[in-house]
Amino acid sequence: MTPRAVRVACAQIAPAVGDLDGNRRLTREAVRGAVAAGARLVVLPELCTSGYVFESAEEARACAEPADGPALRGWAEEAARGEAVVVGGFCELGPEGVLFNSAAVVDGSGVLAVYRKIHLWDRELLFFEPGGEPAPVVETPLGRIGVGVCYDLNFPESARGLALAGAEVVALPANFPYSEGPEGERPIEVTLAMATAHLNRVFVAVCDRCGPERGVEWVGASVVCDERGWIVAGPPEGTGTVLADCDLARARDKAWNERNDVLADRRPDLYGLGEPTGVA
């Protein structure tokens, strides 16, 4: 396989809840900086246009904008400067006024895909509708980008589905609330990112946020893992952009050895995971 070196950036920023103008500037500048540093894939945190800790459904609604709104237009304009692709989380004002916790895949031409988070965490359930469509894998000149958001990382089924659909890298905007772990141990979210990469032989680019918000602290677990599960960059202390050069073509090779294959060795009839209930 021809190597396909792609500089990946995860911009661990500190959005301010409710400050739409400020967050537009902050996220746009983060994309600009990453593109100037040579990044072709730029990942931003979950809900980075709005902040996360809403006090009410009304506040969440006041922070929402459609996918063709000004925040994502700004990302597209910055992406255009470097033929980059941006994957970032936003508070989406959807059709008929329904709110979603979404992630958009954006390039210089505009929005390529919107994914509406299907696993909502805690109080998100008070503000958002869960998405009703599978997470997308977007074919781009950089490679095939799969998308997840935050708590999706707790469902290995999600990343498996993305890998089966051809994803070479999983871009995962996140807002991981901080929780205590054993002394000296890395955050469990980083362990999950490593396992996700190894189990599916895909690169994983997690972009977390930082900066306390209404009493919530964040893990700050932005990392890039290679297709073997090893951390190649991150996490930073506080705000900062994680940069890693990834040969995404390596994720196409699913052979562990001459007899074993990451995906083909699955035995889906023997896992007892229940029959899908939706349409194919």
Q: Where are the beta strands (DSSP E) in the chain?
A: 5-12, 41-43, 85-93, 99-107, 110-116, 137-139, 144-147, 169-173, 203-207, 223-225, 231-233, 240-247
Q: Where are the alpha helices (DSSP H) in the chain?
A: 20-36, 57-62, 70-80, 124-127, 156-164, 188-200
SS3 category, 31 = helix
Residue span binding a copy of itself (CB under 8 A) among the ranges 1-9, 53-61, 70-78, 253-261: 253-261
Amino acid at 93: L
Question: Is residue 280 a contact residue for a copy of itself (CB under 8 A)?
Answer: yes
Cβ at position 248, least distance to a copy of itself in Å: 20
Among 229, 234, 235, 236, binds a copy of itself (CB under 8 A): 229
Question: Is residue 53 a contact residue for a copy of itself (CB under 8 A)?
Answer: no
Report the C-alpha gap between 49 and 62 in whole angstroms.
Answer: 12
From residue 237, alpha-carbon distances to 58, 210, 220, 222, 223 in Å are 33, 9, 7, 10, 12
Task: Kindly identify the residues of this chain, within the stretch 93-132, that bind a copy of itself according to CB under 8 A.
Answer: 118-119, 121-123, 125, 130-132
Among 133, 139, 217, 253, binds a copy of itself (CB under 8 A): 133
Cβ at position 257, least distance to a copy of itself in Å: 5
Between 95 and 276, name the residue whose CB sits nearer to a copy of itself: 276
**Which residues are known to be catalytic?**
46, 117, 150
* Contact residues for a copy of itself, defined by CB under 8 A: 118-119, 121-123, 125, 130-135, 151, 154-158, 160-161, 164-165, 181-182, 185, 188, 191-192, 194-196, 198-199, 228-231, 256-257, 259-260, 262, 265-278, 280
